[in-house]
Amino acid sequence: MKIALTGASGLAGFNTARAARARNHEVHAFYHSRQPELPGLELHQIDLSEPENVVGPLLEIFPDVIIHAAAVSSPADCDADPARAEKLNVALPRRLAQVAHHLGCRLIHLSTDMVFDGQQGTPYRSTDLPIPMGLYGQLKLLAEREVLEHGVDEATVLRIPILTGNSPSGNRSVHEKLFHAWAAGKRPTLYTDEIRQPLSAANLGELLVELCERRNLHGIFHWAGNETVTRYEMGRRILERFGLPEDLIEPVTCDDASRPTDLRFELAPLVGKLKTVPLSYEFQLDEMLVPADCRDWYEQASGRSAAPVRLKKGVDF
């Protein structure tokens, strides 16, 4: 299968590229500045903030599936530059959906749990009414509607929560950001009253590849891990996993009414339909590695040796 993948150097995109190459799919990896270091990729350096830039390469590649994993994924970055965020988070997926429909190929678009306001009190189903609280969630909801309108029967929207795992840059996932804060002498504050359902980026990659292979699944779906935790609990268990003292993080309650509090997902109907299964947070902790540029700090702080990067046979060598 020929897969065109945007955001290939990001946390979600890179792990998807690994999963696709492990299953011997042809992967055309679109990236902006950081080239993904993974054997067997067909590389395309493109500035996706101008959506028309992607059209020519896609028409030439003629993919079977487009996986759209590129986005301005930080709410703060969206607020800081709304115009750029609108281009990447709305205009780009709209254009991808139009091209996918023209080519007759699948489009799998990544969205977010932050299209909801977190006030429901029960896990969100894919059919529940979205009520985004901030600009990031609003833009991602607009993108969902554009993708489903222009992609017609070829489009799938997959909403995902906060991602865990190891990124090519070493600074994109939850534990990587915490490590960089600790190495800089900071003590991050983490909310004790915000509930999340973290998802392994590697597990997401495997699911996306399976969705590529299942042409009958269209519409909106939810995917996450199978364990819900508070943000503080996430951080505390990361400290425990790496043998670091608990006082490196500060537990606080959230007094910002614009932040969603409870973003649990109902994972039906994907669970049971696919071979990929959601992972516990404990399993996700085992996947985490100390970022390369934090290893000296970690060895001094913990008295342990930083674990080397684990290579995957058939993908990395």
pLDDT, tens digit, 9 for 90 and up, residues 64-120: 999 999 999 999 999 999 999 999 999 999 999 999 999 999 999 999 999 999 999
Q: Is residue 6 part of a domain?
A: yes
Q: Is residue 252 part of a domain?
A: no
Which domain CATH number covers 54?
3.40.50.720
pLDDT, tens digit, 9 for 90 and up, residues 246-299: 999 999 998 888 889 999 999 998 998 899 999 999 999 999 999 999 999 999
Q: What are the angstrom distances between the C-alpha of 260 and each of 64, 74, 120, 134, 193? A: 36, 15, 10, 9, 10
Q: Is residue 234 part of a domain?
A: no
Counting the structural domains of the chain, the total is 1
pLDDT, tens digit, 9 for 90 and up, residues 8-17: 999 999 999 9
Residue 216's pLDDT is what?
86
Looking up tokens 């139009």 gives: 98
What number is the average pLDDT over the span 52-63? 97
Q: Is residue 309 part of a domain?
A: no
Q: Is residue 255 part of a domain?
A: no
Tell me the pTM.
Answer: 0.94
pLDDT, the chain, mean:
94
Whether 316 shows a pLDDT value over 50: the answer reads no
Q: Which of 205, 192, 200, 136 is nearest to 174 (CA)?
A: 200
What is the residue range of 116's domain?
A: 2-170+196-229+263-287
Q: Is residue 313 part of a domain?
A: no
Residue 311's pLDDT is what?
44
DSSP states of the chain:
-EEEEESTTSHHHHHHHHHHHHTT-EEEEEESSS----TT-EEEE--TTSGGGGHHHHHHH--SEEEE------HHHHHH-HHHHHIIIIIHHHHHHHHHHHHT-EEEEEEEGGGS-S-SSSPBPTTSPP---SHHHHHHHHHHHHHHHHHGGGEEEEEE--EES--SSS-SSHHHHHHHHHHTT---EEESS-EE--EEHHHHHHHHHHHHH-TT--EEEE---S--EEHHHHHHHHHHHTT--GGGSEEE----TTS-SB--B--TTTTTTSS-----HHHHHHH----GGGHHHHHHHHSSPPPPPPP-TTTT-
Q: Is residue 253 part of a domain?
A: no
Q: Is residue 256 part of a domain?
A: no
What number is the average pLDDT over the span 227-241? 97
